[in-house]
Structure 1
Amino acid sequence: MKILFLCHRMPYPPKRGGKIRPFNMIRHLSRSHEVTVATLARTPQEWADAQELRRYCPDLHVGRVSWLGSWARFGLFGLTGRPATFGYFHSPALSRSVQRLLATRGFDAILVHCSSMGPYVGTHRGSRKVMDFGDADSAKWTEYSKTASFPFSWGFRVEGQRVREAERRLGAQFNACSVNAPRERDELASYVRTPISVIPNGVDLEYFQPAPTSGRGHIRNRIIFTGNMSYRPNVDAVRHLVAAVLPWIRREIPDVQLYIVGMDPSPAVRRLADGDRVVVTGRVEDVRPHFDSAAVAVAPLRVARGLQNKVLEAMAMRVPVVASPAAFEGISAVAGQDLLVATEAREFSRDVVTLLRDPAARERFAAAGRACVESNHNWSRLLERLEDLVAGGDQLAASARPSSH
Structure 2
Amino acid sequence: MRILFLSRWFPYPPDNGSKIRISNLIATLSSMGTVDLISFTSDSLSSAQLAESHKYCDTVKAIEYRSFNPGSLQAVLGFFSLKPRFLVDTYNQDFEHAVVDLVARNPYDLVIVSQIDMTPYVGLFQNQKVILDEIELTIIAKPDKKNTLRYLWSRLTWAKYQIYLRKVLKQVQGCTTVSKNELEMLRRLAPKNLPIAVIPNGIQVAQEEGEPAIPERHSLIYAGALSYYANLDAVRYFIQEILPEVKRACPDVKLYVTGKADPELISKLPNDDRVIFTGYIENIRARIESSWLSIVPLRIGGGTRLKIIESMAYGTPVISTSKGAEGLDLIPGKEILIADEPAKFAAEIIRVFNVPGLREELSQNGKKAIMSKYDWKSISQDYIRFIDQALSAFST
In structure 1, C-alpha distance between the alignment counterparts of 2:268 and 2:69, rounded to whole Å: 31
TM-score (normalizing by structure 2): 0.89
Match of 2:211 in 1: 212
Which of the numbers 242, 247, 250 marks the counterpart of 2:239?
242
Match of 1:164 in 2: 162
Q: Secondary structure of 2:175's match?
A: strand
**Structure 2 gap segments, 5+ residues each:** none
Give the C-alpha shift of residue 68 in structure 1.
9.3
Q: Deviations over 1:18-65 (max 9, x none)?
A: 212111100111123111111112322479734531222121122234
Kindly indicate whether the alpha-carbon contact (under 8 Å) linking 1:260 and 1:278 is maintained by their aligned counterparts in 2: yes
Kindly indicate whether the alpha-carbon contact (under 8 Å) linking 1:115 and 1:167 is maintained by their aligned counterparts in 2: no
Give the C-alpha shift of residue 332 in structure 1.
2.3
TM-score (normalizing by structure 1): 0.87
Kindly indicate whether the alpha-carbon contact (under 8 Å) linking 1:71 and 1:88 is maintained by their aligned counterparts in 2: no
In structure 1, C-alpha distance between the alignment counterparts of 2:393 and 2:253, rounded to whole Å: 47
Match of 1:121 in 2: 122
Q: Which aligned pairs between 1:342-381 and structure 2 lie closer than 5 A?
A: 342-381=339-378
The reply to whether residue 179 of structure 1 matches residue 177 of structure 2 is yes
In structure 1, C-alpha distance between the alignment counterparts of 2:156 and 2:280, rounded to whole Å: 33
Kindly indicate whether the alpha-carbon contact (under 8 Å) linking 2:75 and 2:86 is maintained by their aligned counterparts in 1: no
Q: Quick one: percent identity of the two aligned structures?
A: 26
In structure 1, C-alpha distance between the alignment counterparts of 2:20 and 2:388, rounded to whole Å: 22
In structure 2, C-alpha distance between the alignment counterparts of 1:268 and 1:380, rounded to whole Å: 37
Match of 2:37 in 1: 37
Kindly indicate whether the alpha-carbon contact (under 8 Å) linking 1:3 and 1:110 is maintained by their aligned counterparts in 2: yes
In structure 1, C-alpha distance between the alignment counterparts of 2:214 and 2:119, rounded to whole Å: 46
The amino acid that maps onto 1:179 is T
Give the C-alpha shift of residue 75 in structure 1.
2.1
Classify 1:72/1:272 alpha carbon distance in 2 versus 1 (closer, same or farther; 3 Å).
closer
Match of 2:186 in 1: 188
Q: Deviations over 1:270-302 (max 9, x none)?
A: 454746411122222221221122101111111
Matched residue pairs, number? Answer: 391
Classify 1:74/1:383 alpha carbon distance in 2 versus 1 (closer, same or farther; 3 Å).
farther
Kindly indicate whether the alpha-carbon contact (under 8 Å) linking 2:100 and 2:124 is maintained by their aligned counterparts in 1: no
Q: Which aligned pairs between 1:20-35 and structure 2 lie closer than 5 A?
A: 20-35=20-35
The reply to whether residue 315 of structure 1 matches residue 312 of structure 2 is yes
Q: Secondary structure of 1:26's match?
A: helix
Kindly indicate whether the alpha-carbon contact (under 8 Å) linking 2:8 and 2:41 is maintained by their aligned counterparts in 1: no
Q: Which aligned pairs between 1:285-304 and structure 2 lie closer than 5 A?
A: 285-304=282-301
Classify 1:133/1:320 alpha carbon distance in 2 versus 1 (closer, same or farther; 3 Å).
closer
In structure 2, C-alpha distance between the alignment counterparts of 1:142 and 1:70, rounded to whole Å: 21
Match of 1:98 in 2: 99
The reply to whether residue 330 of structure 1 matches residue 330 of structure 2 is no
**Structure 1 gap segments, 5+ residues each:** 398-405
Kindly indicate whether the alpha-carbon contact (under 8 Å) linking 1:182 and 1:330 is maintained by their aligned counterparts in 2: yes
Match of 1:107 in 2: 108
Q: Secondary structure of 1:44's match?
A: coil
The amino acid that maps onto 2:162 is R
Give the C-alpha shift of residue 234 in structure 1.
1.1
Q: Deviations over 1:299-332 (max 9, x none)?
A: 1111131110110010011001111111112222
RMSD: 2.8
Give the C-alpha shift of residue 369 in structure 1.
1.0
Classify 1:342/1:145 alpha carbon distance in 2 versus 1 (closer, same or farther; 3 Å).
closer
In structure 2, C-alpha distance between the alignment counterparts of 1:338 and 1:49, rounded to whole Å: 35
Classify 1:169/1:55 alpha carbon distance in 2 versus 1 (closer, same or farther; 3 Å).
same
Match of 2:279 in 1: 282
Q: Secondary structure of 1:10's match?
A: coil
Kindly indicate whether the alpha-carbon contact (under 8 Å) linking 2:11 and 2:22 is maintained by their aligned counterparts in 1: yes
Kindly indicate whether the alpha-carbon contact (under 8 Å) linking 1:273 and 1:280 is maintained by their aligned counterparts in 2: no
Q: Secondary structure of 2:98's match?
A: helix
In structure 1, C-alpha distance between the alignment counterparts of 2:223 and 2:251, rounded to whole Å: 22
Kindly indicate whether the alpha-carbon contact (under 8 Å) linking 2:68 and 2:90 is maintained by their aligned counterparts in 1: no
Kindly indicate whether the alpha-carbon contact (under 8 Å) linking 2:195 and 2:390 is maintained by their aligned counterparts in 1: no
The reply to whether residue 391 of structure 1 matches residue 388 of structure 2 is yes
Give the C-alpha shift of residue 222 in structure 1.
0.6
Q: Secondary structure of 1:328's match?
A: coil
The amino acid that maps onto 2:132 is M
Kindly indicate whether the alpha-carbon contact (under 8 Å) linking 2:78 and 2:89 is maintained by their aligned counterparts in 1: no
